[in-house]
Amino acid sequence: MNLSDFLHSPYFAGLIGGLLIGLAAAMFVLLNGRIAGISGILSGLIQADGGDKLWRILFVLGMAASPFIYQLASDLPAATIDAGTVQLIIAGLMVGLGTSYASGCTSGHGVCGISRGSVRSIAATLSFMLAGFITVYLTRHLLGL
Amino acid sequence: MLNVNAFLVGLIFGLGLIVSGMTNPAKVIGFLDLAGDWDPSLAFVMGGAISIGAGAFTIAKKRQRSLLGEPMRLSNVTEIDKSLLAGSLVFGIGWGLSGFCPGPAVVSAAAGQTKAMIFVVSMLAGMVLYKVIQQQNNR
C-alpha cells in the first residue's frame, strides 16, 4: 500500500477518528480533571440523587450534536445494523449491566484507562475484546445468526 | 467554562466516532470477526486515541488540579476483581451481539436510527437495573 492508498483507506479514517477521540479525552482530563468514559457519564445521569448533572447533560448533548455537525461537511457514513430487535434489547441490557459492574467501557477503560497505564483497565479491555471475539465467532460461524 | 468544555469534548468525541467508522455496527463486528474477513482498521482508532491520550494522562497524573482548577478525578482503584472481569465479559458479549458500545450507540440514536434508540433505551435500563441490585444488596 502506498501513501495515497493509505490516505484513502479505512485505516487512515480510523487513525484520524482515533486522534479526535484522543484529543477529546485529553481536553477533558486536562481541563475538567475527568475521565471521558461514556458509560460512566450516562450512568451518572440516571442516578436518583441530584447535583453534578449539568456537565453530563452537556457532554451527551455534544455527542448528540456530532452527527448534525458532521452532516454540514458530508453525508453520514453508511451504518448497517444486522441485529434484530430482540437481539438488540438483550445486547443493550448486557452492555448496560456489564459496563456498570466493570465501571467502564471502550472509552473509560479502553482509551482513558490504557492511556493512563492502568493494569485494571488493560484487564478489562482484554476481557471485553475476548468476549466480543468469541461472541462473533459463535454467532457468525457456528450459529449462523 | 467547564460546562462549555464538556459540550465540546462530547462533540469532538462524537465526531471521532463517526469519522473512525465506530458508528457502523457491521464494521465493528467485522473487526471482532477474527475467523472471517477480518477488518483490522478499528485497531487504528484505539492506537490513534491512545497516542494522544497517553501524553495527556502523563501530564494529568503529575498534577493535583486540572488547568481550570478542578481536582484530578482519576481512579485509584487497582484491584482486578470478579466484578471487573465478569462485567467486562458481559459487556463484550453485548458488544459482539450488536456491534454497539455506549458512545457510538448514543451518536447513532441521536442521528435518528431507530435500532440504535432501542439499544440505548435497553442499555440505560441495564444501568438502572444495576443500581436497583446494588440498593437491594446494601439493605
User: Counting one residue from A and one from B, how many pairs have CB atoms under 8 Å apart?
Assistant: 480
**pLDDT over 90 percentage in chain B:** 93
> Which pLDDT band, with edges at 50, 70 and 90, does A48 fall under?
low
Tell me the C-alpha to C-alpha distance, in Å, between residue A47 and each of A74, B8, B51, B124. 37, 23, 33, 11
Q: Is residue A54 part of a domain?
A: yes
Contact partners, residue A98, CB within 8 Å, separation at least 6: A128, B86, B87, B88, B89, B90, B91, B92, B93, B94, B126
ipTM over 0.85: yes
> b/e map of B64-99 (b: 16 or more CB within 10 Å)?
eebeeeeebebbeeeeeeeebbebbbbbbbbbbbbb
| Phi-psi sector, A33: left (phi>0), alpha (psi -120 to 50), beta | left
Name which of B29, B65, B84 is nearest A33 (Cβ-Cβ): B65
Instruction: Write down the mean pLDDT value for chain B.
Output: 96
**CB contact (8 A) between residue B50 and residue A70:** no
Contact partners, residue A84, CB within 8 Å, separation at least 6: none
> Which pLDDT band, with edges at 50, 70 and 90, does A6 fall under?
confident
Range of the domain at B106: 2-138
B71 strand-pairing partners? B65
Q: Is residue A120 part of a domain?
A: yes
From B132's Cα to the closest Cα of chain A, the distance in A is 11
Tell me the C-alpha to C-alpha distance, in Å, between residue B12 and each of A133, B5, B16, B17, B60. 28, 10, 6, 9, 20
Q: Kindly list the residues from chain A whose CB atom is less than 8 angstroms away from the CB atom of residue B129.
A: 93, 96-97
**pLDDT over 70 percentage in chain B:** 100
Tally of domains within chain B: 1
Q: Provide the grid cell at B29.
A: 463486528
Q: Is residue A27 part of a domain?
A: no
Q: How far apart are CA A60 and CA A41, in angstroms?
A: 8
**CB contact (8 A) between residue B13 and residue A114:** no
Q: Kindly list the residues from chain B whose CB atom is less than 8 angstroms away from the CB atom of residue A31.
A: 1-2, 5, 66-68, 70
Three-state SS for A111?
helix
Tally of domains within chain A: 1
Range of the domain at A72: 35-142
**Quick one: closest CA in B to A34, which residue?**
B73
> Which pLDDT band, with edges at 50, 70 and 90, does A52 fall under?
confident
Q: Kindly list the residues from chain A whose CB atom is less than 8 angstroms away from the CB atom of residue B131.
A: 43, 46-48, 100
Beta strand ranges found along A20-76 (DSSP E): none
Q: Kindly list the residues from chain A whose CB atom is less than 8 angstroms away from the CB atom of residue B47.
A: 15, 18
Lowest mean pLDDT among A16-25, A133-142, B69-78: B69-78
